[in-house]
Amino acid sequence: MALSQHQSTSVSVVIVNYRSWDKLAACLDSLLKTNTDNIKLEIIVVDNCSDDEKLDAFAAQYPSINFILNSGNHGFAHGCNTGAKASNSEYLFFLNPDTEVPTQLFSYLIDGLNKLPAFSIIATQKLSAKGKAERVERFLPRWYTLTGIGKAAHRFCIRSQLKQNFALDKEVVYPEWVSGSVIFMRSKAYKKLNGWNESYWMYSEDVDLCKRAANSDGKIALLQNVAIIHNHGGSSRINPVTSALTKSEVYISRHIYIAQHFNKKNVFVIQGLLTVKTLIKTGLIAFLSILAFNHPKAQVSRQLFKNLISYYTHALVNKTWLSPRSVLYKK
């Protein structure tokens, strides 16, 4: 699959970085090796204020790349929007710094997207460093999938449909949303959708973007005939505060999504039930963690419960489901 010889276009790659320099180097090296015949490629790295004195060295090491220092760690969505504002390309490619791309990637992405409606979003298969494929059948949140049991029951009930729709021999499959680690879309569509939703500080912003694109009659497509290496994973040492913070945002982002996309008639009941379920689950785990008081994971459990108590108190007092870390809340 290749871009037509007579056709030329432009692509801006937007990468949001926060202290992921080693993985970012591998990502940039792979991007610089891609086949860009008939493509004007621009790479934009938005550093979400890593504040570790490494940005200048990286900018000197990669002079062809546009490095932007954000004013703070305002979240993934804000970082993506900051990078996109610096772009004038026809296409936008949002990419995690912990990825490595194949040389023919852009021909696949451009050709694939050009076969789809205007507001469509394309992703690729993602493999771990050991070659294990990530799950591709993703569903938008529903009231009955807000628990692990609900998700498992939903998958079980439609298992034959999943097998057919996401067969490995299909070059293109159509999940309801794709991970924000790899998202390719037209710049015009991005602008008409008003970009990424900065209500989210971390997590669910990709679900939100795909939902809004689908609402505008776009297709959410995933190419199974091309793969990106996704080197995700944490450090061997756990920072309890940071780990608890990110886990907190998983729960918070669900409340934001429900507030913005669920039926208004049912949203109060759903938010209440999710709050009770979350507090019971995390509170019980935090209580049991006392048995392993000094273990890092036990510390994370207790800090997570404290964070959620603080968040729900904040939500009640301020009458908003936004994360206190959201730039929209701060405004």
pLDDT tens-digit readout, 78-112: 999 999 999 999 999 999 999 999 999 999 999 99
Please state, in angstroms and rounded to a whole number, the distance separating the CA atoms of residues 128 and 231. Answer: 6
Position with higher pLDDT, 147 vs 193: 193
Backbone angles phi, psi at 258, to 5 degrees: -60, -45
**Would you place residue 147 in the very low, low, confident or very high pLDDT band (cuts 50, 70, 90)?**
confident
**Would you place residue 212 in the very low, low, confident or very high pLDDT band (cuts 50, 70, 90)?**
very high
Which superfamily does CATH assign the domain made up of 9-230 to? Spore Coat Polysaccharide Biosynthesis Protein SpsA; Chain A (3.90.550.10)
**Would you place residue 331 in the very low, low, confident or very high pLDDT band (cuts 50, 70, 90)?**
low
- Is residue 7's pLDDT more than 80? no
**What residue segments make up the domains of the chain, in order of their start?**
9-230, 240-330
Query: Residue 134 gets which letter from DSSP?
Result: P
Average pLDDT over residues 277-293: 91
State what percent of residues in the chain have pLDDT above 70: 95
Q: Specify the pLDDT at position 233.
A: 59
Average pLDDT over residues 202-209: 96
Position with higher pLDDT, 274 vs 3: 274
Residue 90's CB: how many other CB atoms inside 10 A? 16
**Would you place residue 1 in the very low, low, confident or very high pLDDT band (cuts 50, 70, 90)?**
very low
pLDDT tens-digit readout, 237-278: 457 888 899 999 999 999 999 999 999 889 999 999 999 999
Q: Specify the pLDDT at position 235.
A: 40
Q: Write the DSSP assignment of 39-93 as a string of letters.
A: EEEEEEEEE----SS-HHHHHHH-TTSEEEE-SS---HHHHHHHHHHT---SEEE
Average pLDDT over residues 48-71: 93
Please state, in angstroms and rounded to a whole number, the distance separating the CA atoms of residues 256 and 271. Answer: 10
Beta-bridged to residue 172, according to DSSP, are 223
- The model's pTM: 0.93
Average pLDDT over residues 187-199: 97
Containing H/E element for 250? Answer: helix 240-261
In contact, 219 and 96? CB cutoff 8 Å: no
Q: For all residues of the chain together, what is the average pLDDT? A: 92
Q: Cα–Cα distances in Å, from 241 out to 5, 61, 82, 105, 299?
A: 52, 32, 27, 37, 8
Position with higher pLDDT, 226 vs 296: 226
Q: Specify the pLDDT at position 196.
A: 98
